[in-house]
Chains A and B, each alone.
Chain A
Amino acid sequence: MTIKGKAYIAGIYEHPTRHAPDKSTAQLHAEVAKGAIEDAGISKDDVDGYFCAGDAPGGAWPMVDYLGLNTKKLRHVDSTETGGCSYIIHLGHAAEAIAAGKCSIALITLAGKPRTGVMPPRAAGAEVDFESAYGATTHNAYGMCAMRHMHDYGTTSEQLAWIKVAASHHAQYNPHAMLKDVVTVEDVLNSPMISDPLHRMDCCVVSDGGGALIVTTPEIAKSLKKPLVRLIGHGEAMKGPRGGKDLDLTYSAGVWSGPRAFEEAGIAPKDIKYASIYDSFTITVLMQLEDLGFCKKGEGGKFVADGNLISGVGKLPFNTDGGGLCSNHPVNRGGMTKIIEAVRQLRGEAHPKVQVKNCDLAIAHGTGGLLGVRHAASTAILERV
């Protein structure tokens, strides 16, 4: 049993807002749902599967009700919560449900306003008394990974900076990007140190906003007007300190989710024309590129240097919307926008300045949680038909 080719992404929508003090979170979910439904050219009454994560106010049943979904038809829901990669996991789960005949048109939504207000805290795990006092935030949890990666492999701040530089080259063409200025390696190194060894420009933006997807059967996708993009491989995985044994913060759960996805797709990293890689921090990208097999472990620094991730310049164009480092990071969760830009590339709808020629195979990969503590990862491999 495989999901290869059994589900198509027929609708995408990314909210243009980056700051939404005048809107409710539920409203943003409705706006992105409407956008994706219209992009697909279907009716909201056709939706029979709904997927959301921890950002959806109240969870699945309040959202299904608020969104006015057709409850006579809706027959599959999934509120898997794995932080920023929830939506990449949802994409795989939607494909599984479609392949099993449990739904035929799935809607996945993400939206929220961390730039406007404080986000609710994550529910505590069994580790709470043994960790919460130490103040693990995103910045220092990823900083710990970068520090050890530098120690073990000689990775440098200059190499990490190239990831931000590449993102900024792409963001200059995105009218909605929060940070549109092209930056240099020196700019990154001269930005203030936030949590060693990560500088401010190693960090993604904080933005309001959201995005949504419509995932459907091959038959329905072919009856619609959009270029055909299908899921051919999917993987998910989790990683934590597991009792403190053999701690190694230089790799992520992507070492497991990636090979699972590539195996299902029957392709290799060298076949990928465009990569959407979650960029909560520059180190996140570097580690994930290694974990996914785009280069050997420890060689990520060399791989990303000298513009190798810049579209039209390097070998692996990445995050051509500017990504989380420059464009947006709705709800502090980058998974949704990674899928959306990959679909744009496969459809040929990316900005002409960053559109990858003959883009027929793309990857969308992300993590959720804290890379240096506990996290999930998910990988989706998408193909233009």
Chain B
Amino acid sequence: MSEVKKYPAPVTNPETAAFWDAAKQGKFMIKRCSACGEAHYFPRSICPFCYSDKTVWEEASGEGTIYTWSLMRKSPTGPYAIGYVTLKEGPSVQTNFVDCDLEKLKIGQKVKVVFKPTDGAPLPFFTVA
């Protein structure tokens, strides 16, 4: 756990650049459609639910609960825990759990976002709240 894992830098593109710019400020953004009111993740320009182009950026609380997880024990870079977090705002997001006891993760457990550096914009991860 003390070893610093190297994460790939996001390539980014015009559709998602605002997400990564906000990440540099420590903000975790989602998109919400002002036509149908639904939030989604990862961010798109066109709402995947109603196809409106009236989607707007919204800073998420960064809080959520573990929907599911799996601890990958056979990896050349060491064990890591993948999972989905259901955000307070609704959408579930794929992530890794970090900076906590990976053997003790539980579905329903409260977690919060934490950013990890890359050579580019930082990446969002989740840790036990």
Residues of A in contact with B (beta carbons under 8 Å apart)? 126-137, 139-141, 143-148, 151, 192-198, 241-245, 247, 249, 372-373
User: CA of A133 to CA of B123 in the docked complex: distance in angstroms?
Assistant: 8
Give A54 to B28 CA distance when docked, in angstroms.
Answer: 36
Does B27 sit at the interface, judged by CB under 8 A? no
The answer on a CB contact under 8 Å between B94 and A195 is no
Min distance, Cβ A189 to any Cβ of chain B, angstroms: 15
Q: Are B69 and A195 in contact (CB under 8 A)?
A: no
Once A134-B95, A243-B49 are accepted as A-B contacts, the answer to whether A147 and B8 lie under 8 Å apart by CB is no
A133:B8 contact, CB within 8 angstroms: yes
Across chains A and B, the number of contacting residue pairs, with CB separation under 8 Å, is: 114
Q: In the bound complex, how far is the Cα of B16 from the Cα of A206, in angstroms?
A: 37
Binding site for A on B (CB under 8 A): 7-8, 10-12, 16, 20, 38, 40-42, 44, 48-49, 67-75, 80, 82-84, 86-87, 90-96, 107, 118, 123
List 9 interface pairs A-B (beta carbons < 8 Å), by A numbering: A127-B42, A133-B118, A135-B80, A135-B82, A139-B70, A139-B72, A139-B74, A144-B83, A196-B69
Q: Once bound together, how far apart are the Cα atoms of A141 and B69, in whole Å?
A: 9
| B91 lies within 8 A of A243 (CB) | yes
- Give the contacting residue for B49; candidates A198, A245, A372; CB below 8 A: A245
Give the docked Cα–Cα distance between A244 and B49 (Å): 11
Known: A129-B11, A144-B84. A241 touches B94 (CB 8 A): yes
Chain B residue, CB-CB nearest to A149:
B68
Ordered nearest first, which 10 A-B pairs have the shortest CB separation? A244-B91, A143-B70, A243-B40, A130-B42, A247-B92, A129-B10, A148-B68, A140-B70, A244-B92, A243-B48
How far apart sit A141 and B75, CA to CA, in the bound complex (Å)? 14
Check B72–A137 contact: CB distance below 8 A.
Answer: yes
